[in-house]
A = this chain, B = another copy of it.
Amino acid sequence: MERDRIPEAVIRRLPKYYRYLSEQLRAGEERVSSSGMSRDMGLNASQIRRDLNCFGGFGQQGYGYNIEKLRGEIMRIMGIDARQRMVIIGAGNIGQALAGYGGFAREGFLAVGLFDTDSTVIGQRVSELVVRPVAELAAFLRRQPVQVGVICTPAAAAQETADRLVQGGVRGIWNFAPCDVQVKAGVAVENVHLNDSLFVLSYRLREDGSEG
């Protein structure tokens, strides 16, 4: 079945639906209406219905949504119903934190390698991983399929790292470096620019202050 391109804003809301439905499931709930979701999530009920209709529409008039089914469908759509393997490049503060964070593995994203160029950190153990030299990345990627490459290098090394990952067959780049990276078509990039996020917060602080 050919699907229309899903709008960016809808894609960005999918994880929020997933998070909400997971909480409801843990709380023992079985079904939820779009108006109930609207109240709890602070989204417009008709927007919720429109969003979920993008993926086929799972609601039933007068019944609402079966939480487990809807959650499973959203997991399938997001591709988190299967295990994915990640390598992390850059074993500085952020790289080590991501390697040690159990929250990704719980959602099926397994960090299988941690790499750096700095000989003082190579060989160190971080959580379940030992830091390897970046020079071994290509051989590592030949030995095992890796879906996601996490860039935690300084800005100056980010593009080269992206190139190495893509050359090694990685098609998903999660970029924490404070710069953008260019990749060929067919490779997905998701940026987490922490400074940008902090600046937006700073802007809002000033904005609210000037209103008061």
Contacts and interface: CB of A to CB of B under 8 A. Distances in A.
A211 B5 CA distance: 11
A203 B5 CA distance: 12
A147 B196 contact: no
Interface in A182-208: 186-190, 192-208
Interface string A6-34: 10000110111011000000000000000
B212 A186 contact: yes
A190 B15 CA distance: 16
A14 B171 contact: no
Contact of A80 (B100, B103, B193, B199): B199
A97 interface: yes
Nearest to A99: B93
A6 B6 CA distance: 26
A181 to B, nearest CB: 12
A87 to B, nearest CB: 14
Looking at A101, A203, A211, the one whose CB has the most chain B CB atoms below 10 A away is A203
A174 interface: yes
A208 B171 contact: yes
A79 interface: yes
Contacts of A201: 148, 172-174, 188-190
Contacts of A103: 178, 194-195
A80 B103 CA distance: 32
25 contacts: A14-B200, A15-B196, A15-B200, A19-B178, A77-B203, A77-B206, A79-B202, A79-B205, A79-B206, A93-B98, A93-B100, A97-B97, A103-B194, A104-B195, A107-B199, A109-B202, A147-B205, A148-B202, A148-B205, A172-B205, A174-B198, A188-B207, A189-B201, A190-B204, A192-B197
